[in-house]
Structure 1
Protein backbone atom coordinates (compact mmCIF):
# COMPACT_ATOMS: atom_id res chain seq x y z
CA UNK A 1 0.00 0.00 0.00
CA UNK A 2 1.50 3.32 -1.10
CA UNK A 3 0.25 5.73 1.56
CA UNK A 4 -0.36 9.38 0.80
CA UNK A 5 1.82 11.30 3.26
CA UNK A 6 2.61 14.90 4.15
CA UNK A 7 6.16 15.52 5.40
CA UNK A 8 7.26 18.81 6.96
CA UNK A 9 10.49 20.01 8.55
CA UNK A 10 13.92 18.42 8.73
CA UNK A 11 14.48 17.53 12.40
CA UNK A 12 14.15 14.26 14.30
CA UNK A 13 11.24 12.28 12.76
CA UNK A 14 7.81 12.39 14.40
CA UNK A 15 5.20 10.00 12.98
CA UNK A 16 1.70 11.48 13.44
CA UNK A 17 -1.24 9.06 13.23
CA UNK A 18 -4.84 10.22 12.83
CA UNK A 19 -8.06 8.71 14.13
CA UNK A 20 -11.30 7.43 12.62
CA UNK A 21 -12.68 9.05 10.58
CA UNK A 22 -9.66 11.16 9.78
CA UNK A 23 -6.71 11.92 7.54
CA UNK A 24 -3.16 13.13 7.82
CA UNK A 25 -4.43 16.65 7.34
CA UNK A 26 -6.40 16.35 10.59
CA UNK A 27 -3.03 16.28 12.38
CA UNK A 28 -2.16 19.82 11.24
CA UNK A 29 -2.79 21.15 14.75
CA UNK A 30 0.34 19.19 15.69
CA UNK A 31 2.40 19.27 12.49
CA UNK A 32 2.15 23.01 11.83
CA UNK A 33 3.37 23.76 15.34
CA UNK A 34 6.06 21.08 15.66
CA UNK A 35 7.54 21.00 12.15
CA UNK A 36 9.94 23.93 12.71
CA UNK A 37 11.93 21.65 15.05
CA UNK A 38 10.84 18.15 13.99
CA UNK A 39 10.36 16.27 10.76
CA UNK A 40 6.63 15.59 10.99
CA UNK A 41 5.30 12.67 8.96
CA UNK A 42 1.50 12.56 8.68
CA UNK A 43 0.18 9.75 6.45
CA UNK A 44 -3.36 9.05 5.39
CA UNK A 45 -3.92 5.54 6.74
CA UNK A 46 -5.10 2.87 4.34
CA UNK A 47 -8.71 3.60 3.41
CA UNK A 48 -8.56 7.20 4.63
CA UNK A 49 -7.94 10.48 2.87
CA UNK A 50 -6.11 9.95 -0.40
CA UNK A 51 -4.81 6.48 0.53
CA UNK A 52 -7.50 4.57 -1.29
CA UNK A 53 -7.90 0.90 -0.30
CA UNK A 54 -7.25 -1.97 -2.68
CA UNK A 55 -9.92 -4.12 -1.02
CA UNK A 56 -10.91 -5.27 2.44
CA UNK A 57 -8.19 -5.06 5.09
CA UNK A 58 -7.58 -5.50 8.82
CA UNK A 59 -6.03 -3.36 11.53
CA UNK A 60 -2.76 -5.29 11.14
CA UNK A 61 -2.50 -3.97 7.59
CA UNK A 62 -2.21 -0.46 9.00
CA UNK A 63 0.80 -1.55 11.04
CA UNK A 64 2.45 -3.19 8.03
CA UNK A 65 1.81 -0.08 5.93
CA UNK A 66 3.37 2.20 8.54
CA UNK A 67 6.46 0.06 9.01
CA UNK A 68 6.92 -0.08 5.24
CA UNK A 69 6.56 3.70 5.10
CA UNK A 70 9.31 4.18 7.69
CA UNK A 71 11.52 1.72 5.83
CA UNK A 72 10.91 3.56 2.57
CA UNK A 73 11.89 6.84 4.24
CA UNK A 74 14.95 5.09 5.75
CA UNK A 75 13.85 5.99 9.28
CA UNK A 76 15.23 3.59 11.89
CA UNK A 77 14.03 5.56 14.91
CA UNK A 78 11.23 8.06 15.47
CA UNK A 79 8.87 9.56 18.01
CA UNK A 80 5.20 8.48 17.78
CA UNK A 81 2.15 10.70 18.18
CA UNK A 82 -1.32 9.16 17.84
CA UNK A 83 -4.82 10.53 18.27
CA UNK A 84 -7.70 8.12 19.07
CA UNK A 85 -7.31 5.15 16.67
CA UNK A 86 -3.90 6.59 15.82
CA UNK A 87 -2.92 6.22 19.47
CA UNK A 88 -3.90 2.56 19.45
CA UNK A 89 -1.79 2.05 16.32
CA UNK A 90 1.11 3.86 18.03
CA UNK A 91 0.88 1.45 20.97
CA UNK A 92 0.78 -1.51 18.61
CA UNK A 93 3.84 -0.28 16.70
CA UNK A 94 5.74 0.17 19.96
CA UNK A 95 4.72 -3.32 21.10
CA UNK A 96 5.85 -4.82 17.79
CA UNK A 97 9.27 -3.19 17.84
CA UNK A 98 10.00 -1.25 21.07
CA UNK A 99 13.54 -0.40 19.96
CA UNK A 100 12.35 1.57 16.94
CA UNK A 101 10.47 4.29 18.82
CA UNK A 102 12.02 6.82 21.18
CA UNK A 103 8.75 7.82 22.84
CA UNK A 104 4.97 8.07 22.50
CA UNK A 105 2.54 10.99 22.71
CA UNK A 106 -0.94 9.49 23.09
CA UNK A 107 -4.02 11.67 22.54
CA UNK A 108 -7.57 10.63 23.58
CA UNK A 109 -6.81 6.92 23.31
CA UNK A 110 -6.43 3.76 25.40
CA UNK A 111 -5.08 0.22 25.36
CA UNK A 112 -8.54 -0.95 26.51
CA UNK A 113 -10.81 1.73 25.03
CA UNK A 114 -14.23 2.20 26.56
CA UNK A 115 -16.92 4.69 25.61
CA UNK A 116 -19.94 6.21 27.30
CA UNK A 117 -21.78 7.46 24.25
CA UNK A 118 -25.58 7.42 24.68
CA UNK A 119 -28.04 6.33 22.03
CA UNK A 120 -29.01 9.17 19.73
CA UNK A 121 -32.35 9.89 18.11
CA UNK A 122 -33.40 11.24 14.74
CA UNK A 123 -33.43 14.85 15.97
CA UNK A 124 -29.77 14.61 16.97
CA UNK A 125 -28.88 13.14 13.57
CA UNK A 126 -30.88 15.85 11.78
CA UNK A 127 -29.15 18.57 13.79
CA UNK A 128 -25.79 16.99 12.97
CA UNK A 129 -26.48 17.18 9.26
CA UNK A 130 -27.70 20.76 9.46
CA UNK A 131 -24.82 21.85 11.67
CA UNK A 132 -22.28 20.22 9.37
CA UNK A 133 -23.67 21.70 6.17
CA UNK A 134 -24.02 25.21 7.60
CA UNK A 135 -20.59 25.03 9.22
CA UNK A 136 -19.00 24.06 5.89
CA UNK A 137 -20.49 27.19 4.32
CA UNK A 138 -19.95 29.56 7.28
CA UNK A 139 -17.25 27.97 9.46
CA UNK A 140 -17.46 28.85 13.13
CA UNK A 141 -20.79 30.75 12.91
CA UNK A 142 -21.88 31.08 16.54
CA UNK A 143 -25.60 30.99 15.72
CA UNK A 144 -25.20 27.61 14.01
CA UNK A 145 -23.11 26.34 16.92
CA UNK A 146 -25.69 27.37 19.51
CA UNK A 147 -28.81 26.28 17.60
CA UNK A 148 -27.67 23.05 15.91
CA UNK A 149 -24.09 22.21 16.93
CA UNK A 150 -24.67 21.88 20.67
CA UNK A 151 -27.70 19.65 20.03
CA UNK A 152 -26.00 17.32 17.56
CA UNK A 153 -23.33 14.62 17.59
CA UNK A 154 -20.81 17.45 17.72
CA UNK A 155 -22.05 17.97 21.27
CA UNK A 156 -20.42 14.65 22.22
CA UNK A 157 -17.18 15.35 20.34
CA UNK A 158 -16.71 18.90 21.59
CA UNK A 159 -17.35 20.32 25.04
CA UNK A 160 -16.23 23.90 24.47
CA UNK A 161 -18.27 24.95 21.44
CA UNK A 162 -15.92 27.65 20.19
CA UNK A 163 -15.71 29.01 16.64
CA UNK A 164 -12.10 27.81 16.55
CA UNK A 165 -13.11 24.18 17.10
CA UNK A 166 -15.82 24.39 14.44
CA UNK A 167 -13.41 25.94 11.95
CA UNK A 168 -11.17 22.89 12.41
CA UNK A 169 -14.23 20.71 11.80
CA UNK A 170 -15.04 22.56 8.59
CA UNK A 171 -11.48 22.64 7.26
CA UNK A 172 -10.31 19.16 8.25
CA UNK A 173 -13.04 17.12 9.95
CA UNK A 174 -15.71 17.27 7.24
CA UNK A 175 -13.40 16.39 4.31
CA UNK A 176 -11.87 13.53 6.31
CA UNK A 177 -15.32 12.12 7.11
CA UNK A 178 -16.33 12.18 3.44
CA UNK A 179 -13.05 10.56 2.33
CA UNK A 180 -13.18 7.70 4.86
CA UNK A 181 -13.94 4.55 2.88
CA UNK A 182 -16.52 1.89 3.65
CA UNK A 183 -13.69 -0.64 3.98
CA UNK A 184 -12.10 1.51 6.70
CA UNK A 185 -15.40 1.57 8.60
CA UNK A 186 -15.69 -2.20 8.12
CA UNK A 187 -12.15 -2.91 9.32
CA UNK A 188 -12.60 -0.85 12.49
CA UNK A 189 -16.03 -2.32 13.27
CA UNK A 190 -14.66 -5.84 12.84
CA UNK A 191 -11.84 -5.11 15.28
CA UNK A 192 -14.23 -3.54 17.81
CA UNK A 193 -16.52 -6.58 17.74
CA UNK A 194 -13.56 -8.80 18.61
CA UNK A 195 -12.70 -6.61 21.58
CA UNK A 196 -9.37 -4.92 22.22
CA UNK A 197 -7.30 -5.10 25.38
CA UNK A 198 -3.52 -4.70 25.45
CA UNK A 199 -3.16 -3.61 29.07
CA UNK A 200 -1.30 -6.78 29.99
CA UNK A 201 1.40 -6.13 27.38
CA UNK A 202 2.17 -2.48 28.10
CA UNK A 203 5.07 -3.33 30.42
CA UNK A 204 7.04 -4.12 27.25
CA UNK A 205 7.06 -0.40 26.38
CA UNK A 206 9.93 1.25 28.23
CA UNK A 207 10.09 4.48 26.22
CA UNK A 208 8.81 7.74 27.81
CA UNK A 209 5.12 8.39 27.18
CA UNK A 210 2.80 11.37 27.46
CA UNK A 211 -0.92 10.60 27.63
CA UNK A 212 -3.48 13.40 27.29
CA UNK A 213 -7.24 13.00 27.79
CA UNK A 214 -10.43 15.06 27.74
CA UNK A 215 -12.47 14.86 30.95
CA UNK A 216 -15.81 14.69 29.09
CA UNK A 217 -14.68 12.35 26.30
CA UNK A 218 -17.61 10.02 25.50
CA UNK A 219 -15.82 8.07 22.73
CA UNK A 220 -12.74 6.93 24.67
CA UNK A 221 -13.29 7.86 28.28
CA UNK A 222 -10.71 9.62 30.40
CA UNK A 223 -10.91 6.72 32.83
CA UNK A 224 -9.77 4.24 30.17
CA UNK A 225 -6.93 6.58 29.16
CA UNK A 226 -5.83 6.86 32.78
CA UNK A 227 -5.93 3.08 33.14
CA UNK A 228 -3.52 2.83 30.22
CA UNK A 229 -1.22 5.51 31.64
CA UNK A 230 -1.02 3.62 34.92
CA UNK A 231 0.13 0.45 33.12
CA UNK A 232 2.88 2.21 31.17
CA UNK A 233 6.14 2.25 33.12
CA UNK A 234 7.27 5.74 32.16
CA UNK A 235 4.14 7.77 31.47
CA UNK A 236 2.93 11.26 32.36
CA UNK A 237 -0.86 11.58 32.26
CA UNK A 238 -2.89 14.76 32.07
CA UNK A 239 -6.66 15.25 31.86
CA UNK A 240 -8.16 18.51 30.61
CA UNK A 241 -11.40 19.63 32.30
CA UNK A 242 -14.38 20.69 30.23
CA UNK A 243 -13.10 19.08 27.04
CA UNK A 244 -14.10 16.07 24.93
CA UNK A 245 -12.65 13.78 22.25
CA UNK A 246 -11.65 16.63 19.93
CA UNK A 247 -9.85 18.60 22.66
CA UNK A 248 -6.81 19.27 20.40
CA UNK A 249 -9.17 21.51 18.42
CA UNK A 250 -10.78 22.95 21.55
CA UNK A 251 -7.65 23.97 23.48
CA UNK A 252 -4.73 23.73 21.03
CA UNK A 253 -2.59 26.38 22.72
CA UNK A 254 -2.77 24.75 26.15
CA UNK A 255 -2.25 21.25 24.77
CA UNK A 256 0.75 22.21 22.63
CA UNK A 257 2.32 24.02 25.57
CA UNK A 258 2.02 20.82 27.64
CA UNK A 259 3.59 18.80 24.82
CA UNK A 260 6.42 21.35 24.66
CA UNK A 261 7.02 21.00 28.40
CA UNK A 262 7.09 17.22 28.18
CA UNK A 263 9.52 17.31 25.26
CA UNK A 264 11.75 19.73 27.19
CA UNK A 265 11.87 17.39 30.20
CA UNK A 266 12.48 14.35 27.97
CA UNK A 267 15.07 15.58 25.46
CA UNK A 268 16.17 12.00 24.82
CA UNK A 269 13.05 11.28 22.75
CA UNK A 270 14.35 13.58 20.04
CA UNK A 271 18.06 13.26 20.64
CA UNK A 272 18.48 9.48 20.81
CA UNK A 273 21.06 8.31 18.32
CA UNK A 274 20.82 11.32 16.01
CA UNK A 275 24.12 10.21 14.52
CA UNK A 276 23.39 6.49 14.39
CA UNK A 277 19.73 7.01 13.36
CA UNK A 278 18.73 4.12 15.60
CA UNK A 279 16.88 4.02 18.93
CA UNK A 280 18.84 1.02 20.20
Structure 2
Protein backbone atom coordinates (compact mmCIF):
# COMPACT_ATOMS: atom_id res chain seq x y z
CA UNK A 1 0.00 0.00 0.00
CA UNK A 2 1.02 3.63 -0.44
CA UNK A 3 2.87 5.47 2.29
CA UNK A 4 0.07 7.56 3.88
CA UNK A 5 2.58 10.32 4.66
CA UNK A 6 3.23 10.86 0.94
CA UNK A 7 0.51 12.64 -1.01
CA UNK A 8 -0.02 11.31 -4.53
CA UNK A 9 -0.37 13.54 -7.57
CA UNK A 10 -3.45 12.94 -9.71
CA UNK A 11 -1.71 12.16 -13.00
CA UNK A 12 -3.01 13.10 -16.42
CA UNK A 13 -3.44 9.82 -18.30
CA UNK A 14 -4.36 8.74 -21.84
CA UNK A 15 -6.43 5.54 -21.85
CA UNK A 16 -7.08 3.51 -24.99
CA UNK A 17 -8.68 0.17 -25.82
CA UNK A 18 -10.04 -2.61 -23.64
CA UNK A 19 -8.70 -5.83 -22.20
CA UNK A 20 -5.80 -6.73 -19.92
CA UNK A 21 -4.17 -3.46 -18.73
CA UNK A 22 -0.73 -2.28 -19.87
CA UNK A 23 0.71 0.68 -17.98
CA UNK A 24 3.04 2.56 -20.35
CA UNK A 25 5.67 4.84 -18.79
CA UNK A 26 7.60 7.48 -20.69
CA UNK A 27 11.19 8.62 -20.34
CA UNK A 28 12.91 11.93 -19.63
CA UNK A 29 12.06 14.36 -21.07
CA UNK A 30 8.73 12.91 -22.04
CA UNK A 31 4.96 12.66 -21.84
CA UNK A 32 2.46 9.85 -22.20
CA UNK A 33 2.03 10.85 -25.83
CA UNK A 34 5.58 9.59 -26.52
CA UNK A 35 4.23 6.07 -25.97
CA UNK A 36 1.69 6.32 -28.81
CA UNK A 37 4.05 4.27 -30.97
CA UNK A 38 3.19 1.42 -28.58
CA UNK A 39 -0.30 2.28 -27.35
CA UNK A 40 -1.87 2.86 -30.79
CA UNK A 41 -0.96 -0.74 -31.63
CA UNK A 42 -1.35 -2.50 -28.28
CA UNK A 43 -4.74 -0.91 -27.57
CA UNK A 44 -6.18 -3.07 -30.35
CA UNK A 45 -5.85 -6.03 -27.95
CA UNK A 46 -5.27 -4.50 -24.50
CA UNK A 47 -6.27 -1.53 -22.40
CA UNK A 48 -3.34 0.89 -22.37
CA UNK A 49 -2.79 3.62 -19.80
CA UNK A 50 -0.09 6.17 -20.60
CA UNK A 51 0.24 8.80 -17.86
CA UNK A 52 2.26 11.97 -17.81
CA UNK A 53 4.53 11.42 -14.82
CA UNK A 54 4.68 14.01 -12.05
CA UNK A 55 6.26 17.20 -13.36
CA UNK A 56 5.90 16.15 -16.99
CA UNK A 57 3.34 17.07 -19.64
CA UNK A 58 0.00 17.97 -18.10
CA UNK A 59 0.76 16.42 -14.68
CA UNK A 60 1.82 19.73 -13.21
CA UNK A 61 3.51 19.83 -9.83
CA UNK A 62 4.83 22.78 -7.85
CA UNK A 63 7.82 22.19 -5.60
CA UNK A 64 10.57 19.62 -5.28
CA UNK A 65 10.07 15.87 -5.28
CA UNK A 66 12.06 12.64 -5.44
CA UNK A 67 12.06 9.68 -7.80
CA UNK A 68 10.18 7.55 -5.28
CA UNK A 69 7.24 9.97 -5.49
CA UNK A 70 6.60 8.71 -9.01
CA UNK A 71 5.88 5.28 -7.54
CA UNK A 72 3.36 6.73 -5.10
CA UNK A 73 1.61 8.44 -8.00
CA UNK A 74 1.56 5.28 -10.12
CA UNK A 75 0.16 3.13 -7.34
CA UNK A 76 -2.56 5.73 -6.81
CA UNK A 77 -3.29 5.62 -10.55
CA UNK A 78 -3.77 1.84 -10.44
CA UNK A 79 -6.03 2.24 -7.42
CA UNK A 80 -8.05 4.98 -9.14
CA UNK A 81 -8.88 2.70 -12.06
CA UNK A 82 -9.20 -0.41 -9.86
CA UNK A 83 -6.44 -2.26 -11.69
CA UNK A 84 -5.40 -5.30 -9.69
CA UNK A 85 -2.98 -6.78 -12.24
CA UNK A 86 -1.15 -5.26 -15.19
CA UNK A 87 1.85 -5.37 -17.46
CA UNK A 88 4.21 -2.41 -17.26
CA UNK A 89 6.02 -1.10 -20.34
CA UNK A 90 8.72 1.47 -19.67
CA UNK A 91 11.03 3.43 -21.96
CA UNK A 92 14.28 4.79 -20.47
CA UNK A 93 13.31 6.41 -17.12
CA UNK A 94 9.96 4.66 -17.52
CA UNK A 95 11.72 1.30 -17.53
CA UNK A 96 13.51 2.13 -14.28
CA UNK A 97 10.18 3.03 -12.71
CA UNK A 98 8.66 -0.17 -14.13
CA UNK A 99 11.24 -2.27 -12.28
CA UNK A 100 10.74 -0.25 -9.10
CA UNK A 101 6.99 -0.74 -9.37
CA UNK A 102 7.42 -4.50 -9.84
CA UNK A 103 9.43 -4.58 -6.62
CA UNK A 104 6.87 -2.45 -4.79
CA UNK A 105 3.79 -4.27 -6.12
CA UNK A 106 4.89 -7.83 -7.00
CA UNK A 107 1.34 -9.20 -6.98
CA UNK A 108 0.01 -6.50 -9.30
CA UNK A 109 2.80 -6.30 -11.89
CA UNK A 110 2.64 -9.52 -13.91
CA UNK A 111 5.20 -8.68 -16.60
CA UNK A 112 7.74 -6.06 -17.70
CA UNK A 113 8.63 -4.68 -21.12
CA UNK A 114 11.82 -2.66 -20.70
CA UNK A 115 12.84 -0.37 -23.55
CA UNK A 116 16.28 1.33 -23.72
CA UNK A 117 16.69 1.17 -19.96
CA UNK A 118 18.79 -0.39 -17.21
CA UNK A 119 18.76 -1.02 -13.48
CA UNK A 120 22.25 0.52 -13.29
CA UNK A 121 22.04 3.05 -16.10
CA UNK A 122 25.22 4.32 -17.67
CA UNK A 123 25.97 6.04 -20.96
CA UNK A 124 28.92 6.87 -23.19
CA UNK A 125 27.72 10.16 -24.65
CA UNK A 126 30.55 12.31 -26.09
CA UNK A 127 31.10 15.85 -24.89
CA UNK A 128 28.68 18.39 -26.34
CA UNK A 129 30.15 21.32 -28.29
CA UNK A 130 28.60 24.71 -29.05
CA UNK A 131 28.33 23.60 -32.67
CA UNK A 132 26.25 20.61 -31.55
CA UNK A 133 23.82 22.92 -29.80
CA UNK A 134 23.59 25.30 -32.77
CA UNK A 135 22.92 22.51 -35.27
CA UNK A 136 20.42 20.89 -32.91
CA UNK A 137 18.50 24.13 -32.46
CA UNK A 138 18.31 24.73 -36.22
CA UNK A 139 17.43 21.09 -37.00
CA UNK A 140 14.69 21.02 -34.35
CA UNK A 141 13.19 24.34 -35.48
CA UNK A 142 13.13 23.42 -39.17
CA UNK A 143 11.76 19.97 -38.31
CA UNK A 144 8.87 21.57 -36.42
CA UNK A 145 8.10 23.76 -39.43
CA UNK A 146 8.45 20.96 -41.99
CA UNK A 147 8.62 17.54 -40.24
CA UNK A 148 10.77 14.94 -41.98
CA UNK A 149 12.23 17.40 -44.50
CA UNK A 150 15.11 15.52 -46.14
CA UNK A 151 17.15 18.68 -46.81
CA UNK A 152 17.05 19.56 -43.10
CA UNK A 153 17.97 15.99 -42.14
CA UNK A 154 21.01 15.96 -44.42
CA UNK A 155 22.28 19.46 -43.65
CA UNK A 156 21.47 19.88 -39.97
CA UNK A 157 19.89 16.75 -38.46
CA UNK A 158 22.85 14.46 -39.07
CA UNK A 159 25.22 17.08 -37.59
CA UNK A 160 23.05 17.72 -34.53
CA UNK A 161 22.69 15.89 -31.23
CA UNK A 162 19.97 13.83 -32.92
CA UNK A 163 22.85 11.70 -34.24
CA UNK A 164 23.30 10.31 -30.72
CA UNK A 165 19.59 9.63 -30.25
CA UNK A 166 18.97 7.88 -33.56
CA UNK A 167 21.01 6.07 -36.19
CA UNK A 168 18.41 5.86 -38.95
CA UNK A 169 17.82 9.43 -40.13
CA UNK A 170 14.57 8.75 -41.95
CA UNK A 171 11.69 11.20 -42.49
CA UNK A 172 9.37 9.00 -40.43
CA UNK A 173 11.73 9.11 -37.44
CA UNK A 174 12.01 12.89 -37.68
CA UNK A 175 8.22 13.15 -37.80
CA UNK A 176 8.06 11.33 -34.45
CA UNK A 177 10.63 13.79 -33.08
CA UNK A 178 8.56 16.75 -34.25
CA UNK A 179 5.27 15.33 -32.97
CA UNK A 180 6.37 13.97 -29.61
CA UNK A 181 9.96 14.70 -28.60
CA UNK A 182 10.12 18.50 -28.88
CA UNK A 183 6.74 19.15 -27.19
CA UNK A 184 7.72 16.75 -24.39
CA UNK A 185 11.01 18.60 -23.86
CA UNK A 186 9.16 21.90 -23.54
CA UNK A 187 6.69 20.43 -21.02
CA UNK A 188 9.28 18.89 -18.68
CA UNK A 189 9.65 20.82 -15.42
CA UNK A 190 12.96 21.69 -13.72
CA UNK A 191 11.75 19.76 -10.66
CA UNK A 192 11.38 16.58 -12.74
CA UNK A 193 14.87 17.05 -14.17
CA UNK A 194 16.30 17.62 -10.69
CA UNK A 195 14.60 14.49 -9.28
CA UNK A 196 16.12 12.31 -11.99
CA UNK A 197 19.63 13.71 -11.92
CA UNK A 198 19.76 13.74 -8.13
CA UNK A 199 19.15 9.98 -8.19
CA UNK A 200 21.82 9.46 -10.87
CA UNK A 201 24.39 11.57 -8.98
CA UNK A 202 23.69 9.46 -5.90
CA UNK A 203 24.80 6.36 -7.85
CA UNK A 204 21.44 4.79 -8.65
CA UNK A 205 21.74 1.01 -8.87
CA UNK A 206 18.80 -1.37 -8.65
CA UNK A 207 20.80 -4.48 -9.58
CA UNK A 208 21.01 -5.93 -6.04
CA UNK A 209 17.20 -6.13 -5.88
CA UNK A 210 16.46 -7.54 -9.33
CA UNK A 211 16.53 -11.16 -8.19
CA UNK A 212 13.29 -10.40 -6.31
CA UNK A 213 11.44 -9.79 -9.59
CA UNK A 214 9.97 -13.08 -10.80
CA UNK A 215 7.54 -12.00 -13.52
CA UNK A 216 8.48 -12.41 -17.22
CA UNK A 217 10.56 -9.55 -18.59
CA UNK A 218 11.43 -8.46 -22.12
CA UNK A 219 14.53 -6.24 -22.29
CA UNK A 220 15.12 -4.43 -25.59
CA UNK A 221 18.08 -2.23 -26.52
CA UNK A 222 19.49 -0.17 -29.37
CA UNK A 223 23.02 -1.24 -30.25
CA UNK A 224 24.32 2.34 -30.58
CA UNK A 225 22.47 3.79 -27.58
CA UNK A 226 24.71 6.47 -26.04
CA UNK A 227 22.32 7.47 -23.24
CA UNK A 228 21.77 4.05 -21.65
CA UNK A 229 24.12 1.62 -23.34
CA UNK A 230 23.13 -1.77 -24.69
CA UNK A 231 25.70 -3.25 -22.28
CA UNK A 232 23.84 -1.69 -19.34
CA UNK A 233 20.57 -3.18 -20.61
CA UNK A 234 22.21 -6.58 -21.04
CA UNK A 235 23.49 -6.43 -17.46
CA UNK A 236 19.90 -5.85 -16.33
CA UNK A 237 18.56 -8.74 -18.40
CA UNK A 238 21.13 -11.07 -16.88
CA UNK A 239 20.09 -10.07 -13.35
CA UNK A 240 16.39 -10.71 -13.96
CA UNK A 241 15.29 -14.31 -13.35
CA UNK A 242 12.85 -14.69 -16.22
CA UNK A 243 13.98 -12.36 -18.98
CA UNK A 244 14.48 -12.26 -22.72
CA UNK A 245 16.96 -9.77 -24.21
CA UNK A 246 17.18 -8.43 -27.73
CA UNK A 247 19.48 -5.81 -29.23
CA UNK A 248 18.66 -4.04 -32.50
CA UNK A 249 21.58 -3.11 -34.81
CA UNK A 250 21.93 0.38 -36.30
CA UNK A 251 19.60 1.96 -33.74
CA UNK A 252 20.01 4.18 -30.68
CA UNK A 253 18.02 5.46 -27.68
CA UNK A 254 14.93 6.37 -29.71
CA UNK A 255 14.83 3.05 -31.56
CA UNK A 256 11.04 2.62 -31.15
CA UNK A 257 10.75 5.57 -33.57
CA UNK A 258 13.38 4.12 -35.90
CA UNK A 259 12.05 0.58 -36.34
CA UNK A 260 8.45 0.64 -35.05
CA UNK A 261 7.10 -2.23 -37.18
CA UNK A 262 9.91 -4.62 -36.26
CA UNK A 263 9.62 -3.70 -32.60
CA UNK A 264 5.85 -4.11 -32.46
CA UNK A 265 6.10 -7.47 -34.20
CA UNK A 266 8.57 -8.65 -31.57
CA UNK A 267 6.32 -7.37 -28.78
CA UNK A 268 3.35 -9.24 -30.19
CA UNK A 269 5.38 -12.44 -30.35
CA UNK A 270 6.55 -12.10 -26.72
CA UNK A 271 3.07 -11.25 -25.46
CA UNK A 272 1.58 -14.29 -27.18
CA UNK A 273 4.39 -16.59 -26.02
CA UNK A 274 3.77 -15.47 -22.42
CA UNK A 275 -0.02 -15.90 -22.76
CA UNK A 276 -0.98 -12.24 -22.46
CA UNK A 277 -4.17 -12.06 -24.45
| TM norm structure 1 | 0.95
C-alpha separation in 2, matches of 1:53 and 1:139: 31
C-alpha separation in 1, matches of 2:47 and 2:38: 12
How far off is 1:99 after superposition? 1.3
How far off is 1:36 after superposition? 1.1
Selected match of 1:182 from 185, 190, 196: 190
How far off is 1:54 after superposition? 2.5
C-alpha separation in 1, matches of 2:18 and 2:194: 36
How far off is 1:96 after superposition? 1.1
Q: Indicate the residue corresponding to 2:65 in structure 1.
A: 57
1:230 and 2:238 matched: yes
Which consecutive residues of structure 2, in runs of 5 or more, have no partner in the other structure?
A: 1-8
1:202 and 2:210 matched: yes
Q: How does 1:9-88 map to 2 (within 5 A)?
A: 9-88=17-96
C-alpha separation in 2, matches of 1:36 and 1:121: 44
How far off is 1:260 after superposition? 0.5
Q: How does 1:236-255 map to 2 (within 5 A)?
A: 236-255=244-263
C-alpha separation in 2, matches of 1:18 and 1:184: 13
1:172 and 2:180 matched: yes
Moved over 3 A (4+): none
Q: Indicate the residue corresponding to 2:228 in structure 1.
A: 220
What value does the CA root-mean-square deviation take over the aligned residues? 0.7
C-alpha separation in 2, matches of 1:2 and 1:52: 9
Corresponding residue SS for 1:99? coil
Q: How does 1:81-96 map to 2 (within 5 A)?
A: 81-96=89-104
C-alpha separation in 1, matches of 2:198 and 2:234: 25
Selected match of 1:99 from 107, 120, 128: 107
Which consecutive residues of structure 1, in runs of 5 or more, have no partner in the other structure?
A: 272-280
C-alpha separation in 1, matches of 2:100 and 2:24: 14
- Measured against aligned partners, the alpha-carbon deviations of 1:79-113 in whole angstroms (never above 9, x if no partner) come to 00000000000000001121111100000000001
Corresponding residue SS for 2:107? helix
Corresponding residue SS for 1:81? strand
